Chains A and B, each alone.
Chain A
């Protein structure tokens, strides 16, 4: 008993689903009428993509400095910068740019929706008297429309970004 009174340490729990089951849970559990879960998974994945991009971006923009101490394939300073810029104008990096653009364009509008719902409790409906066909209030409330709007805005902006990046 290391937790608050009455709660067991999960390490003590026998036969609990392990790391793989937990990681697979967003994919293995099937739920109906639940685009929020799709958004949850996308929000995670796009979050990781953005994080990876930011780290790479910091290393890249800082390369004229760090390469003075740790030269990369014999290049340092602005010579390395020009070398990196030459690589990044290639098609593979454009595709990467396109993916990052898609990640940001989903993550940002969905983040606004989540902020509104999670911190201000708006768009999630009010408790009431459940009536047939027993659709939960959250699924009838505004956040569902916002979510569809997020998907539409995302795809449209992503297409525009694609045109800008590849033309």
Chain B
């Protein structure tokens, strides 16, 4: 789900009611707790929860780290939608007419305490698809004698998937994960495709074996909710369909793709490879023009 930039400019209602679903593992008790907070412009759901933790209730447990949508630890169910708390403006989920917001731990994950969920299974599933480069030549894999060549269009086959921040939102939204806890899940299957697509990798046979099970890619029913909630536009739903069609071709013996060659020795330690300036610039940026007229970034008026 794309970030709503405009939401940061709107003003949330003065007082916001936050309903949190809490869980106490010692007493094995689940209950809803309500807090009232003073909201201000630009406040995110994470800010609101931290304000509660600071001023009202120190026992509220949540997990966060970067506060900027990069670490993927603050995923929670906000008003029924799995979202990153730090990337969700209060104005996106509450309004003057309805100043109540519900916050729950991520669905489909075991809850540790309050809003904190256990990602062990999620990460184990990620590991189970072998998320690393596999070369047939084990000697070459352990001590590489050069770099692997890769062209920009081949890079684009994997780039989008590498944006995944392991936040688990896709996993929480998926109706199939809910019904079948052993289902590998959108994130792991998407990562299998990320390496199947990578021209530097030769391990697709192994990966196809791993995902070609009852709990693998055949289980996905293309509800595409994973893509709808992913904060990084990784699009796991499309990835799983692509993976399945490739597996289909592989089983028919029709799957083929280029494997990159080893080119050139790696740079010596400390040696810098001189790149032409075009190679390091974004398209459309003119260095000469930049020197003449410096860039002025206009900030929005307060």
Contacts and interface: CB of A to CB of B under 8 A. Distances in A.
Interface string B197-240: 10000000000001000000000111111011110111101110
| Chain B interface category by residue count | 35 or more
Interface in A124-141: 124-125, 127-130, 132-139, 141
Contact of B118 (A13, A36, A130): A13
A161 interface: no
A90 interface: no
A36 B158 contact: no
A29 B233 contact: no
Interface in A58-83: none
Nearest to A13: B110
Contacts of B80: 28-30
Given A30-B81, A124-B237, A7 B125 contact: yes
B110 A4 contact: no
Interface stretch (B9-17, B178-186, B263-271): B178-186
Contacts of B241: 117-118, 121, 124, 138
A88 B121 CA distance: 52
23 contacts: A7-B124, A14-B110, A16-B109, A16-B110, A29-B173, A30-B80, A30-B81, A31-B225, A34-B223, A40-B223, A117-B222, A118-B222, A121-B242, A127-B157, A127-B160, A127-B161, A129-B160, A130-B160, A134-B232, A134-B233, A135-B2, A138-B238, A139-B227
Given A25-B175, A29-B225, A137-B160, 20 more contacts: A5-B128, A7-B125, A10-B121, A14-B25, A17-B108, A25-B179, A28-B107, A29-B81, A31-B228, A34-B228, A118-B241, A124-B241, A124-B242, A125-B238, A128-B156, A129-B159, A136-B227, A136-B238, A138-B235, A139-B227
Interface of A: 3-8, 10, 13-17, 21-23, 25-26, 28-34, 36-37, 39-41, 43, 114, 117-122, 124-125, 127-130, 132-139, 141
Interface of B: 1-3, 23, 25, 28, 77, 79-82, 107-111, 118, 120-121, 124-125, 127-128, 156-161, 163, 172-173, 175, 178-179, 181-182, 197, 210, 220-225, 227-230, 232-235, 237-239, 241-242, 244-246, 248
